[in-house]
Amino acid sequence: MTTTTSTPLRETARALVGAGRGILAADESVGTMSKRLQGAGVEPTQENRRAYRELLVTTERLADGVSGVIFCDETLRQSLADGRTFPRGLADLGMMAGIKVDTGTTPLAGADGETLTEGLDGLAGRVAEYVGLGARFAKWRAVLSIGDGRPSSWALLANAHALALYARVCQDAGLVPVVEPEILSEGAHTVHETAAATGRTLATLARTLADAGVDPAGMVLKPNMVTAGASAGRQCTPEEVARATVDTLRATMPTDLAGVAFLSGGQSSETAAANLAAIRRLDTPWPTTFSFGRALVSPALGAWRGDTGAVADGQAALAGEVRRNVPVLSG
Ligand code: 13P
């Protein structure tokens, strides 16, 4: 197959990152979502987790800026108040449903304090079920950190292996993998250290994806932006972040990747949007967009706070964050 042949998988991947639209990450695990709800003063029940996701996806004209929404297993099986399942409702609204298929991190043997993301056991069976439930794409998040010899080569290899195998299983089943090797921003490292660590991570990942026969044109990369550490004395301008990020990606990733959708990684909504806008001003071989979680949803959760009378406020907050990140909407 040539790099320009169209396949359904490639069409889906292109649609996820095309037309300036991006991905909304609403796939917090039950535990994480419950903590976020409690933080906003909302009782962490199954129904409140459902109601919160319904608030997000039924935001008016969300599909103008959002191509797909990532859910966790619980939400994918839940329904909107009108009885449609989340994947069905999303499709009717012009968006695609994604599913987080990793099962979280565990300590990696032989790597002091570093982690391996798990979820490969039985993955092909789960993926087949998710396809039946209406999922069109799937996410797996590896977590790496900087400092004290980290990320180690062993942690990079072990996590790249898992990412490549998950991506291949997904593509074989017709799901677009959204491949997320996240380097955490915690720490006082410089932007140069982040660039070096991200470069090593992505170079290892690109080699391993190629070994597994993963089609770059049928996947989306979800990396961290290359920034200074969250507690570094000097933070970068958006232009510095953009240059370092694009240089690192260009040096490591194939040009026929369907697209790059960045995570927000704890940046404020304003900072994440400014950095993404600067990245988009640079020339890249692939579309660049967002696959933000916190930067998009935190204001919505804060505005809603579980109050049925404040659903419209939560939705207005989300719509504002989406507009901020979609050039055609903010224009
Ligand atoms: P953040 O944008 O909040 O980093 O979340 C994105 C995500 O999907 C993490 O796996």
| Distance in Å from the first CA to the final CA of the chain | 39
Q: Domain residues for 126?
A: 8-330
Residues enclosing ligand 1, CB less than 6 A?
Answer: 25, 141, 180, 263-265, 292-295
Is residue 2 a part of any domain in this protein? Answer: no
CATH number at 129 reads: 3.20.20.70
Residue 330's pLDDT is 74
What is the three-class DSSP state of 272?
helix
d(CA 75, CA 142): 21
> pTM for this one?
0.97
- Mutation choice for ligand 1 from 16, 294, 324, CB with most ligand atoms inside 8 A: 294
The answer to whether residue 120 sits within a structural domain is yes
Per-residue pLDDT of the chain (331 residues), as tens digits, is: 666 799 999 999 999 999 999 999 999 999 999 999 999 999 999 999 999 999 999 999 999 999 999 999 999 999 999 999 999 999 999 999 999 999 999 999 999 999 999 999 999 999 999 999 999 999 999 999 999 999 999 999 999 999 999 999 999 999 999 999 999 999 999 999 999 999 999 999 999 999 999 999 999 999 999 999 999 999 999 999 999 999 999 999 999 999 999 999 999 999 999 999 999 999 999 999 999 999 999 999 999 999 999 999 999 999 999 999 998 887 5
d(CA 2, ligand 1 centre) in Å: 33
Cα–Cα distance, 238 to 276 (Å, whole number): 8
Q: What are phi and psi of 60, to 5 degrees?
A: -60, 130
For strands 104-107 and 115-118, give the pairing: antiparallel
Mutate to test the pocket of ligand 1, among 159, 264, 271, 324 (most ligand atoms within 8 A of CB): 264
Which runs of E-coded beta strand occur in the chain? 22-25, 66-71, 96-100, 104-107, 115-118, 135-144, 176-183, 220-221, 259-262, 288-292
The Å distance, Cα 24 to ligand 1 centre, comes to 9
Q: Are residues 230 and 263 in contact, defined by beta-carbon separation less than 8 angstroms? A: no
- Report CA dihedral (171, 285, 265, 184) to the nearest 10 degrees: 80
Residue 256 lies in a domain: yes
pLDDT value for 328: 83
Q: Which helix (H) or strand (E) holds 62?
A: none
Pick from 186, 292, 296, 322 the residue to mutate for probing ligand 1's pocket: most ligand atoms within 8 Å of its CB.
292
How many distinct structural domains can be found in the chain? Answer: 1
What per-residue confidence (pLDDT) applies to 4?
78
The encoded tokens of residue 327 equal: 């050039």
Which among 186, 112, 194 has a CA at the least distance from the CA of 155? Answer: 112
Q: Is 309 exposed, middle or buried (0-12, 13-18, 19+ CB in 10 A)?
A: exposed
Q: Domain for residue 3, yes or no?
A: no
Centre of ligand 1 to C-alpha 182, Å, is 9
Interval between CA 29 and ligand 1 midpoint (Å): 12
Q: Hey, how many other C-beta atoms are within 10 angstroms of the C-beta on 108?
A: 17
Instruction: Tally DSSP H helices, then E strands, for the chain.
Output: 13, 10
Q: What per-residue confidence (pLDDT) applies to 2?
A: 66
What is the reported pLDDT for 327? 82
**In the prediction, which pLDDT does 188 show?**
97
191 close to 244: Cβ distance less than 8 angstroms: yes
**Cα 176 to Cα 138: distance, rounded to the nearest angstrom:** 6
Radius of gyration, CA atoms only, the chain: 19
Q: What is the pLDDT of residue 1?
A: 64
- Residues labelled catalytic: 180, 222
Instruction: Tell me, yes or no, whether 1 lies in a domain.
Output: no
Please work out, in degrees rounded to the nearest 5, the angle formed at the alpha carbon of residue 231 by the alpha carbons of 228 and 236.
30
Determine the distance separating the centroid of ligand 1 and the alpha carbon of 222, expressed in angstroms.
Answer: 9
